[in-house]
A and B are shown apart, each in its own frame.
Chain A
Amino acid sequence: MSTLSLHQIRKQFGDVVAVHEMNLHVNHGEFLCILGPSGCGKSTALRMIAGFEEPTAGDIRIDDRSIGMLPPNKRPTAMVFQKYTLWPHMRVYENIAFGLRLHGFSRKDIDEKVKGALELVGLPAYGKRFPSQLSGGEQQRIALARALVLQPKILLLDEPFSNLDALLRVRLREELRRIQRQVNITAIFVTHDQEEALSLADRIAVMNKGRIEQLDHPSRIYEQPQTLFVADFIGVMNLLPAHQDGGEIIIGSYRMPVPSGNEYSGDVTLAVRPEDLAIVPSGSDAAWNGQVEHVIDLGHYRKVLVRTEHMGVLKVYLPKAVDVREATTLALQPTRYTIFRDHQTPIEVHAGSVPQLSLQGMA
C-alpha cells in the first residue's frame, strides 16, 4: 500500500513562486495526472516529490512518513523524464541493472529482474543494444523499465511521451496504463496534453500558475469545471462575457434566468460547451440568432462557427443529421450553461425549459 500526500508544498525560485501552497493526496494504485499549460509548475511539483527540488515550505509524505529530508537517491520514488536520459555508455541491460547493482542484488537476481523488466515493457531482446541504437519510443520504454525494476513505491512521469509522434504517443500511453495496472503502482503523470490526461487518469489535477485549480475525475473535470480557467483549458468552450442583474443574466438584448438563491449584480462569464447549443425554431423568443460562417466536417459530427451580434463567434457541434449551410441564419439556445463569477462556486444551469427545439423537427 503506497499513498502519497503533499501538505502545503510551496516552491519559490527567487521572486518566482513556481508552486503555491499545494495539497494533494494520491491513493494506492491510483493514476493521477497533473495537467496544465507550460510553465504552470507541474515539473517543479513532481521534482519536489522526487527530491530534485527542495520545497520552500511544506511536507511530503509517502505512506504517511515524511520524506522531505531524504535526498533523491534515498526516496522510494522513480522518475521517467521528458528528455531521453538513458546512459549512452551503457548497454540497455546495464542501464536497467545499474540501480540493482547499487542496491547489492546478486548476479542471478539482477539477471532475472532485468529480463522481467524488459519483458514487461515489451522489448525482451533489446538488452545488448546501446541507447543510440533505439528509437525515441523504445528509449522511453527502457527508461520505464529502469524506473520500475527497483519496485519503487511511487512512479513519477514528466511528459515522457511529448517528444514522440502522435500515433506512438497514443500507443505508449495505453501500454503505460496496462503496465501500471499490472504492477499495481501509484503513479503521477505530468502532461500539458489534455487528451493524454483525460484518457489516462483516474483523477486529474488541473494546475494553473502554481495552483491546483481542480482535482477531480476526468469526466467531472470536463462536465463540471469549477473555475473559469478549467472551463477554458479543458475541451472547447464558448466563454461569453455577460452581466447579471439580480436574478437575470443579460447579454446584449438577451435575457436568461438564474436559479433562485443566486441573485447578484455585476459582471459574470457564461460558459457553454459547443455540444450544449441546440437549434431552435427561428423566431422563438430567447433564441440567439446568428449567421453560419463556416462549417467544418469532422467525420461523425460538424463543427459550425456562428457569428452573432452580441456574443461574437460561437462554436457549435451539430450531428451530421442536421443540415446546415454556410451564410444561412441559425437560431440557437443553450441546453446547459455555467455562470462563473470571481471566487464563487460556479452555478450550473440546465435549461430544461428550453422551448422544444428538437432536432427531429429540423432533420
Chain B
Amino acid sequence: MTASQTEPAPHSKSRFSTVLPYLLVAPPILMVFGLIFFPALQSTLRTLTDAETGAFSLARYEMFFADKTSVTSLIFTIQIALESLLGLFVICFPLALYLRFNTSRIATGVQMISLLPMFVPGIMSAYALIRFVRGRGLFETLIYQVSPLLADAYYSPYVKPEGIVIGLIWEAIPFTVLILLAGLRQLDNGLIESAQDIGANRWYIFTRIILPLMRRSILIAFCLNFISMFGAYTIPYLLGPAAPQTMGVLMQRTLQDYQQPLEAETQAVITFLICSLVGLVYVQSVSGERVRKG
C-alpha cells in the first residue's frame, strides 16, 4: 500500500485489488438474496396477508395447524429427521472412531467405501435401495438362500417410514463421517492416552473425553443433517408411504396435485422457519466456540 501511494501509476490497480474480493463474492451473495431471501421474504409476507383485504392475518397458519394432515406431516417429518439422525450417529460414530484409531490398509478401504454414497446421485441410490429392500427384492432373496423361514419373517421397509429413514441415513453417511472424523483427528492422542493412563476404560474415554471434546463437530453434523433431512424430497417421495407424508412431499403434492399454491407456500414458510431455527443454533454454537477460544 505504501508503495502505491508514492508511485501514482499503479494507484488505480491497487484500488481495483481492494474492490476485487467484493466483486468476487458479490455474485453468490446477490444470488442468495435474489433467489432465496427475497422470494422467501415475499412468500412469508404473502402468507401473512389476507388475499382480499391485504391486511395482516394469521389465517393461513391457523388453517395449517387446524388441518390434521398437515400437522401430522409436520410431526412425522420431525420424527423421521430425529430417528434418521439417531441412526446416523449410531452408524457413523463407531465408523469414525474406527477410522481415527486404526491405521491399517483395511481402514483406508473402509473410509473409501463410507464415502461412496456421496458419488451416487440421490435418485439412483433411491432406486437401488428400492430394488434391494422391497418385498422379494435382493435382500429378501439373499435371506431366502440362508433360510426360507427367515425370509417369511422379512419385513420390507419399502413404502414405510423406515424406508425413508434408511434412505436418509444412507445419503448422509459420507458427510457425517467426514465431519466426525475431522473432529476426531483434532483430538490429540495424548488426551486419550493420558485418560487411559490414569485408569479410564474405553467407555469412560468415549463418554468423558471424546464426546465432550467433540461437541462442536457433533452439533455441526446434527444441525446440517437435520436441515437437509427435514427438507428432503426425493427419498421420502420414492421410499416413503403414501401417508403420512413428510413436509417436502406434502408441499409438492399441495402445489402440483391439489393446485393450492398459497397453502404450499405456508407449508414452505413453516419448514423454512424450523430449519432456520436449527441453523441459528448451529451458527451460535460455532461462533460461541470461537469467542471462548479467542
Contact = CB atoms under 8 A, between A and B. Distances in A.
Interface string A82-114: 011101110000000011001100000000000
A335 B47 CA distance: 101
B254 to A, nearest CB: 46
A72 B192 CA distance: 11
A146 B193 CA distance: 13
A72 B188 CA distance: 17
Interface residues of A, number: 25
A102 B199 contact: yes
A150 B212 CA distance: 24
A132 B213 CA distance: 14
Contacts of B200: 73, 98-99, 102
A89 B188 CA distance: 14
Contact of B191 (A71, A85, A102, A150): A85
B194 interface: yes
A73 B194 CA distance: 9
A85 B212 contact: no
A150 B199 contact: yes
A280 interface: no
A interface majority secondary structure: mixed
Contacts of B199: 73-74, 99, 102-103, 150
Given A89-B212, A98-B208, A50 B197 contact: yes
Contacts of B5: none
B270 interface: no
B41 to A, nearest CB: 40
Contacts of A88: 191, 213
Nearest to A72: B196
Q: Interface of chain B, helix or strand or loop or mixed?
A: helix
A98 B200 CA distance: 9
B190 interface: yes
A81 B193 contact: yes
Interface in A44-96: 50, 52, 71-74, 77-79, 81, 83-85, 87-89
A102 B204 contact: yes
A85 B193 contact: yes
A316 interface: no
B213 A85 contact: no
A221 interface: no
Given A89-B212, A102-B204, A79 B188 contact: no
A318 interface: no
A73 B208 contact: no
A177 B170 CA distance: 57
Contacts of A72: 193, 196-197
A271 interface: no
Interface in B105-131: none
A19 interface: no
Interface residues on B, range: 10 to 19
A88 to B, nearest CB: 7
Interface in A159-194: none
Given A85-B188, A88-B213, A79 B204 contact: no
A93 to B, nearest CB: 15
B209 interface: yes
B201 interface: yes
A85 B195 CA distance: 9
B198 interface: yes
A305 interface: no
Interface in B189-248: 190-191, 193-201, 204, 208-209, 212-213
Nearest to B190: A85
B77 to A, nearest CB: 34
A103 B204 CA distance: 12
A148 to B, nearest CB: 10
B214 to A, nearest CB: 10
A201 B105 CA distance: 42
B193 A52 contact: yes
B197 A87 contact: no
B198 A102 contact: yes
A352 B199 CA distance: 59
Nearest to B192: A85
Contacts of A146: 194, 198
B188 to A, nearest CB: 6
A45 to B, nearest CB: 16
B285 to A, nearest CB: 14
Contact of A83 (B188, B197, B213, B293): B188
Contact of B197 (A79, A84, A89): A79
Interface of B: 188, 190-191, 193-201, 204, 208-209, 212-213, 293
Given A73-B198, A102-B198, 6 more contacts: A52-B193, A79-B193, A81-B190, A81-B193, A87-B209, A98-B208
Closest 9 CB pairs of A and B: A99-B198, A85-B190, A85-B194, A72-B196, A89-B212, A73-B199, A83-B190, A81-B190, A102-B199
13 contacts: A73-B197, A79-B197, A81-B194, A83-B190, A85-B194, A87-B191, A98-B195, A98-B198, A98-B200, A102-B198, A146-B194, A146-B198, A147-B198
